[in-house]
Amino acid sequence: MKNEFQVIANLIEKDKKVLDVGCADGTLMKFLKDNKNINIRGLEISKDKVQKCIAKGLTVIEGNAEKDLIQFPDKSFDYVVLSQTLQAFLNPELVINELLRVGKKAIVTIPNFGYWKIRLHLLTKGTMPITKTLPDEWYNTPNLHMCTIKDFVHFVKSRNFKIFKSIALSNENVSSINDTNLGLKNLFADLGIFLIEK
Amino acid sequence: MNTELNLKTLIVKKPLKLDCGKTINDFPIAYETYGTLNEEKDNAILVFHALTGDQFVAGLNPITNKDGWWSYAVGPDKAIDTNKYFVICSNVIGGCLGSFGPSHKDPNTQKVFGTNFPVITINDMVNAQNNLLDHFGIEKLFSIVGGSMGGMQVLQFISNFPDKAKTVIPIACTSSHSAQNIAFNELGRQAIAADSNWNEGDYNSKDTIPNKGLAVARMAAHITYLSKKGLQEKFGRKLQEREDLKFGFDADFQIESYLRYQGSVFVDRFDANSYLYITRAMDYFDLAKQFNGNLSDAFKETKAKFFIISFTSDWLYPTQENKDIVIALNAIGADVGFVEIESDKGHDSFLLDVPDFLSALKNFLDKSYTDN
């Protein structure tokens, strides 16, 4: 399993109720269900991936996070997870607000556009960066709103949301982000993981 | 029409108070079973049939000599695997394949009920079928499954008996019949009523059958079960055994011939009054109304695991109406999964060989069963 999922799993206590938004093939859901006795639900837009979740015995709802989160009552989950999907929404701010309404806490992970390889790619080649976490061309990428770790931290603070944990993943190495190392982590991490609350 | 057949029948002694206010007792429920009930009695699946279905889900239907109506989904190694599960299906009351219905004789008058049969509802149907659980000594079903009107019965059953099913699978259905649904049903009923053979429902005494009206009802309904794309691909403007248009009103087009055929085979197996009663039951179905307009309240007593399935090309019970059930369940934090299956086959998709649907159904059931 991806190190990212390991980090997310470590942020969640046993026996909680969790919603995985954009749960893909259910890898994280299955891990949480089997290892932490999590009462887990998934929301996924792709029919193929929904089928994969069903084949794993997972409870998944086919739907669109931008339209379908509205059906969940306030604070109906202990945690809502959004893994590397925020940048693909038309309105990421609306989705963040919905995550924090539906979940008591939200775990959001973002591919960091401030990562040095991305910066270097753009600087030296002058073309849109393609990396392991951002594998698509500019014309076929699902990503509409890329941001950096720094952007995300600024956004969360500007909305007065609480950040409980900020974690940087760099080549699968895990470290924590704080105010003093934010600039460095923004350069050397390819993924940021945040535990936030409204 | 089927008295000579040896149908498995349960005579329900317990009085059943119907929604219309009348009480029935000592009434028959005709049923069929597939597979074997295990010792723990925890592998039973109750399948509910749709408007024109019957208890013969799988195998050979002895009336039509064709495959049972859900043969794609039910049988050994199929989605609903009868090697593993004990499948029960019964003819709904109001129906015409052995269960108490308008073609039965009124014990008081010794005359066929016809339209003197009490109007029944989806609620009455499931309350009647609940007697089968006692008959088999089943406390809790592993699953309840049904498409279309079968799905409505699934919803009503779990609402009435929240502890009696572990998993709940309503397919291609709605929690309340829409104006369009009612309109199509009314068209069918009026076609029957317009047939002079119908005779206000009293055709048995005249030894006639409103074949034409019932066939037209079936033709109209059949169109609603298919999608425009499906029809276009299958028939287009193809002509029926002729080189060119005949400038008359015979079936020039294959689609005309197909519908006429569908109508003609239907009248051989279905009773016109049953068609009136069952369509009425569907039209009266409004689960939210039973709970003062709050659909969530219909499910708040149950801990069952729901799996709701719709089809992209189903315009009779479209995805949004299925999703409304999902939304009502999510509002109370119920365990609910949902998938919309891609298919060009319209509402009938649930009855046909649609691999994504059948694999989703199988995976859900088998995984839920091993999770026990």
CATH of the domain at A21: 3.40.50.150
Give me the CATH number covering residue B121: 3.40.50.1820
A55 located within any domain? yes
> Are B333 and B309 members of one domain?
yes
**Nearest Cα residue in chain A from B342:** A47
pLDDT at A51 over 80: yes
Question: Which single residue is written with the structure tokens 């960091």?
Answer: A112
- Phi then psi for residue B148, to 5 deg, are 60, -125
Average pLDDT, whole number, for chain B? 96
pLDDT at B1 over 60: no
| pLDDT computed for residue B243 by the predictor | 94
Instruction: Give the domain extent around A106.
Output: 3-114+143-197
pLDDT at A140 over 60: yes
ipTM of this complex prediction, to 2 decimal places: 0.93
User: Under an 8 A CB cutoff, do A61 and B356 touch?
Assistant: no
B199-240 confidence digits (pLDDT tens): 999 999 899 999 999 999 999 999 999 999 999 999 999 999
Residue A113: pLDDT band with limits 50, 70, 90: very high
Give me the CATH number covering residue B188: 1.10.1740.110
Name the residue among A19, A30, A81, A37 with its Cα closest to residue A56. A30
Catalytic residue among B99, B347, B348, B349: B347
| pLDDT computed for residue B64 by the predictor | 87
> Are B299 and B272 members of one domain?
no
Quick one: average pLDDT of B88-99? 98
- State how beta strands A59-62 and A39-44 pair: parallel
Catalytic residue among B314, B343, B348, B349: B314
> Are B42 and B167 members of one domain?
yes
Of the candidates A47, A59, A73, the beta carbon closest to that of B337 is on A59
H or E segment and range at residue B311: strand B305-311
- What distances in angstroms separate CA B92 from CA A117, B10, B50, B250, one per listed residue? 67, 12, 9, 37
B347 is catalytic: yes
Quick one: average pLDDT of B64-85? 97
Chain B residues within 8 A (CB-CB) of chain A? 305, 307, 326-327, 330-331, 333, 335-342, 356, 359-360, 363-364, 367-368, 370-371
B49 is catalytic: no
Residue A1: pLDDT band with limits 50, 70, 90: low
Catalytic residue among B148, B159, B175, B176: B148
Instruction: Give the domain extent around B320.
Output: 9-177+287-370
Low-confidence winner among A102-111, A168-177, B66-75, B354-363 (lowest mean pLDDT): A168-177
Residues of B in contact with A52 (CB under 8 A): none
Contacts of A139 by beta carbon, 8 Å cutoff, 6+ apart: none
Amino acid at A8: I
H or E segment and range at residue B148: none
What does the DSSP 8-state code read for residue A152?
H
> Are B46 and B73 members of one domain?
yes
H or E segment and range at residue B46: strand B44-48
- Phi then psi for residue B102, to 5 deg, are -65, -15
pLDDT at B2 over 60: no
Q: What's the total number of domains in chain A? A: 1
Helices (H), chain B: 122-129, 131-136, 149-160, 179-193, 211-224, 228-234, 254-269, 272-284, 319-330, 355-370
Give this prediction's pTM: 0.95
Q: How far apart are CA B367 and CA B363, in angstroms?
A: 6
B227 is catalytic: no
The b-or-e profile of B120-149 (16+ CB within 10 A means b, else e) is bbbbbbbbbbbbbbeebebeebbbbbbbbb
pLDDT at B4 over 80: no
Question: Which of B338, B342, B362 to substitute to test the interface with A, most A CBs within 10 Å?
Answer: B338
User: Under an 8 A CB cutoff, do A59 and B342 touch?
Assistant: no
- End-to-end CA distance of chain A, in Å? 30
Higher local confidence (pLDDT), A1 or B192: B192
B314-367 confidence digits (pLDDT tens): 999 999 999 999 999 999 999 999 999 999 999 999 999 999 999 999 999 999
**Nearest Cα residue in chain B from A50:** B339
Q: Residue B251 in contact with residue B236, Cβ under 8 Å? A: no
pLDDT at B63 over 90: no
